[in-house]
């Protein structure tokens, strides 16, 4: 069984997807981490996202794999180094490149094979797993999302500035929803949940209820 969870930056979809997977006893895969990890690798090795040759090179020399519960790139676990603002912006930029999206979509479909799964991202219900058994689109107001991201970064010990995060979220919203390929939007058959004023346990309860009665 496949469950697709999509939504904008900081909507709480990661927390929801992780908890839901635990509740259902399914694996959890965060596809945003794959865009971030690739952006991190390009930055680290000096690959330019404006060069077709560099993009080809990085695609040919990258492997993703999954060893429950960890997502690996080039056989190494992906860690918190991909959670900085610099990598957030770079990931959103490389996510507009068709070769990169085609590569990661292919990898994501491979990872989804033969397992019960909650997969989280921007285009899971629309592009990666259009036949998912259940699709949820989790959203919240930009201010609420900035507040959540701020608290999340603080918890990880990363220095954060609320207004800068709000600006970054608005920039990424625009970038993610206006790109030509696989833009961020709810699938026609997705259930949209606005979590601005909904505590986490209520969101999970609502999803489980929808799954039971669909």
> Shortest Cβ distance from residue 167 to ligand DC (Å)?
14
Handedness of CA 27, 28, 33, 35 (dihedral sign): positive
Return the number of the residue (121 or 142) whose C-beta is nearest ligand DC. 121
Inter-residue contact 150 to 162 (CB < 8 Å): yes
Q: Which residues contact 199 (CB under 8 A, 6 or more apart)?
A: none
Residue in the block written with tokens 């690798």? 41
- Residue 42 binds ligand DC (CB under 6 A): no
- Residue 16 binds ligand DC (CB under 6 A): no
Inter-residue contact 3 to 179 (CB < 8 Å): no
Residue in the block written with tokens 């207004």? 163
Q: Which of 36, 135, 145, 148 binds ligand DC (CB under 6 A)?
A: 36
- The rounded distance, in Å, linking the Cα atoms of 63 and 109 is 14
The site string for ligand DC over 116-155 (x = CB under 6 A, - otherwise) reads: -----xxx--------------------------------
Inter-residue contact 134 to 208 (CB < 8 Å): no
- The rounded distance, in Å, linking the Cα atoms of 179 and 213 is 35
The site string for ligand DC over 87-106 (x = CB under 6 A, - otherwise) reads: ----xx--x-----------
Greatest Cα pair distance, the chain, in angstroms, is 50
Q: Which stretch binds ligand DC (CB under 6 A): 27-35, 63-71, 140-148, 185-193?
A: 27-35
How many chain residues interact with ligand DC (CB under 6 A)?
Answer: 13
- Residue 4 binds ligand DC (CB under 6 A): no
- Residue 35 binds ligand DC (CB under 6 A): yes
- Residue 2 binds ligand DC (CB under 6 A): no
Residues that bind ligand DC (CB under 6 A): 9, 31-32, 35-36, 91-92, 95, 121-123, 172, 176
């Amino acid at each position: 069984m496949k469950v697709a969870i999509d939504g904008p930056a900081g909507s709480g979809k990661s927390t929801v997807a992780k908890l839901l997977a635990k509740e259902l006893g399914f694996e959890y895969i965060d596809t945003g981490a794959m865009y971030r990890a690739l952006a991190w690798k390009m930055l680290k090795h000096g690959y330019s996202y404006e060069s077709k040759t560099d993009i080809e090179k990085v695609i040919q020399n990258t492997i993703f794999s999954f060893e429950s519960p960890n997502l690996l790139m080039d056989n190494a676990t992906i860690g918190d180094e991909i959670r900085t603002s610099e990598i957030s912006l770079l990931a959103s930029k490389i996510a507009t490149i068709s070769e990169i999206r085609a590569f990661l979509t292919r990898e994501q479909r491979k990872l989804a094979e033969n397992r019960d799964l909650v997969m989280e991202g921007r285009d899971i219900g629309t592009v990666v797993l259009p036949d998912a058994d259940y699709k949820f689109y989790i959203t919240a107001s930009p201010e609420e999302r900035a507040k959540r991201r701020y608290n999340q970064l603080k918890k990880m010990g990363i220095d954060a500035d609320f207004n800068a995060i709000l600006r970054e979220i608005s920039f990424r919203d625009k970038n993610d929803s206006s790109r030509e390929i696989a833009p961020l939007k709810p699938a026609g058959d997705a259930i949209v949940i606005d979590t601005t004023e909904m505590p986490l346990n209520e969101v999970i309860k609502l999803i489980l209820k929808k799954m039971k009665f669909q």
